[in-house]
Amino acid sequence: MSVEPIPSWPGELMDLEGRRVHVRSTPPGPSETAVYVHGLAGSATNWTDLMGELSDVVTGHAIDLPGAGYSPEPPGGDYSIDAHARTVTALIDRIAGGPVHLFGNSLGGAVSVRVAATRPDLVRSLTLISPALPDLLPRYGPARVALSAVPRLGEWAATQLSALPAERRLNATLGMCYADLGRIHPERLREAAEELRRRDGLPYAAAALVGSARGLVAEYFRRGAENLWRQAAQVTAPTLVVHGRHDRLVNPRMAARAGRTFPHVRLVLLPDAGHVAQMELPGRVAREARRLIGETAPIPIGND
C-alpha cells in the first residue's frame, strides 16, 4: 500500500438556521450535487475517498453533523434524528438549487431516510450504506450503543473510554467497522488518531456521542407514521442500499427488509466489506453509486 491517500477535502463553517456546521466540499464543476452524511462517532472525512471517486460526476458536500468533526455542539444539545435531519435539509436548501444525490452511512443513513421521506423535493437519488434502521434484534455493536443511551451510564462509559490511549480506542472501533484492517493506509490511521486526540480536548465531545446514540436508539422504539421503516416505504427517490457481508454493527439480513420496503430500490451485498464500505472499498461503492447517479440525473452521465 505505497500510494498515498488523497488529503481531506477543504471545509468551512456554515450558518444553517441557527446552527453552525462544518462542511467539506469537492471543487465545483459538475452540475449535479451530492450531500454525504456520516455515522455515529464519524465525521465528514469518512467520505473523503468516495467523494474523490465521484468528483467528476457530482460536486460533493460532506457535513460534520452538529457536535461531530469540526462542527460545534448544537443549541440546546439536541442530537435527535429529527434535529440532524433538519440540519441536513437546511444544508441542501443552502447549497443546491434543486434536488441532490443524498448519501448516508449508519446513523447518517437513518437521517437520510427521514430527509428523503419528508422532503422528497430535495432528494434526486438516495444511497444508503449499512443504514442504521430499526432492528430490535441488534448485533453486539448496536447493543453497546443501546447501553450508552442509558442515563448516566453513557456519560460514565465515555469518560472511562477517553482515559484509554487514542490508538487503542481507534483500533477497537476500526476492528468493529472494517472487514479487513489491512485495507487502512497508515496515513489514514495517523490522521484518525490525531483527530481522536483533538476531540478528546473538546468539552462537548462525550455529550455529542452519547446524545447521538440516544437519538438513534429512540428511533428503534418509535411507533406510528414517523417510524423509519414506515418512512422508508414513502421514499420516492430511486434508492441504492449497500451492505457488507462482514458488517458487525448492522446485520446484513436487513438488506432483505430494505428490498421489501423501499419502493424503488436496488440492493448490493459486498461479500468482503464491513460497516463502512465507502471507506473500505470506495471504488466498488463508487461504481454502484455512479450507475444510480447516471440513471437519475437529468442529463445522462457517462460511466467512463
pLDDT tens-digit map of 40-73: 999 999 999 999 999 999 999 999 999 999 999 9
pLDDT category of residue 148 using cuts at 50, 70 and 90: low
Q: Exposure of 122 by Cβ count < 10 A (0-12 exposed, 13-18 middle, 19+ buried)?
A: buried
The residue behind cell 443501546 is 146
Q: What interhelical angle do 107-118 and 81-95 show, nearest 10?
A: 60
Tally of CA atoms within 13 A in the half-sphere of 265 that contains its CB: 20
pLDDT tens-digit map of 86-104: 999 999 999 997 899 999 9
pLDDT category of residue 162 using cuts at 50, 70 and 90: low
109: left (phi over 0), alpha (psi -120 to 50) or beta: alpha
> For residues 98 and 92, is the Cβ–Cβ distance under 8 A?
no
Structural domains of the chain ordered from first start: 11-296 (3.40.50.1820)
Q: β-strand 100-105 against 33-37: which pairing, if any? A: parallel
pLDDT category of residue 155 using cuts at 50, 70 and 90: very low
> For residues 177 and 106, is the Cβ–Cβ distance under 8 A?
no
pTM of the model: 0.92
Paired with 126 in beta bridges are 102, 239
- Measure CA 250 to chain center: 13
> For residues 22 and 12, is the Cβ–Cβ distance under 8 A?
yes
Nearest by Cα to 65 from 33, 90, 48 = 90
pLDDT category of residue 158 using cuts at 50, 70 and 90: low
Task: Kindly state the cell numbers that stand for 300.
Answer: 445522462
Paired with 244 in beta bridges are 270
Per-residue pLDDT for 160 more than 70?
Answer: no
The pLDDT score that the predictor gives to residue 17 is 85
Order of strands across the sheet that contains 100-105? 11-16, 19-25, 59-64, 33-37, 100-105, 123-129, 239-244, 265-270
